[in-house]
A and B are shown apart, each in its own frame.
Chain A
Amino acid sequence: DVKVTQSSRYLVKRTGEKVFLECVQDMDHENMFWYRQDPGLGLRLIYFSYDVKMKEKGDIPEGYSVSREKKERFSLILESASTNQTSMYLCASTGQEYNEQFFGPGTRLTVL
């Protein structure tokens, strides 16, 4: 059974803190994605990665960075959290042959 896991379901941080969101997939997928989800805006792509150490900016990369040191793990980093980064963060992965994306359960981040 395919699985994408995220390190936390709920997270509360303070403005200015460095925040790490971790995502792990067990399907040997090449491609991994980070989205943020806000009411009325759907899912917006922050960053994605086609391979280890490879990354590309999505639609809203400002204020975020990513790291992919191992194939199964894709980390999202908020260098200095701000209140406008309060959101639901979803990680997904997919193989090269088709692009059905498998999603993790999400991390609801609140920045105070």
Chain B
Amino acid sequence: AQSVTQPDIHITVSEGASLELRCNYSYGATPYLFWYVQSPGQGLQLLLKYFSGDTLVQGIKGFEAEFKRSQSSFNLRKPSVHWSDAAEYFCAVGPPGGKLIFGQGTELSVKP
């Protein structure tokens, strides 16, 4: 079955610390992978995407993610977290032009 798992429901990091949000997927074909961010009361905004090529992708707001096929993972990273990064983060996988399967989300809190 196709699925996306975000093992961490809630993560708290200190401002300035590094961040890694985990995402594992189960998908039969070559995946298109996405990370979205949702600020409170808002819709989802695309952070970055992986379609093919370089497995380390850069996104907006200083985020990056690495696709590891052997581990079926697409973890999101940021070297130094800012208070404004507090939000909910969603990993998603899907075929070209089709439906996306979303993970359950990871809520990020940032301590001053």
Give the interface of A toward B (CB within 8 A): 4, 30-31, 33, 35, 40-45, 48, 58, 90, 92, 94-106, 108
Contacts and interface: CB of A to CB of B under 8 A. Distances in A.
With most chain A CB atoms within 10 A of its CB, the pick from B41, B44, B45, B49 is B44
Given A98-B51, A100-B46, A45 B34 contact: no
Contacts of A41: 104
**Size range of the interface on B?**
20 to 34
A106 B99 contact: no
Interface string B41-59: 1111110010100000000
Contact of A45 (B9, B90, B99): B99
B96 interface: yes
A43 B49 CA distance: 18
A38 B94 CA distance: 21
B97 A106 contact: no
Nearest to B46: A100
A26 to B, nearest CB: 15
Contacts of A45: 99-100
Contacts of A94: 97
B43 A100 contact: no
Question: Which 3 pairs between the two chains have the least Cβ-Cβ distance?
Answer: A103-B43, A103-B44, A42-B104
B104 A58 contact: no
A103 B97 CA distance: 15
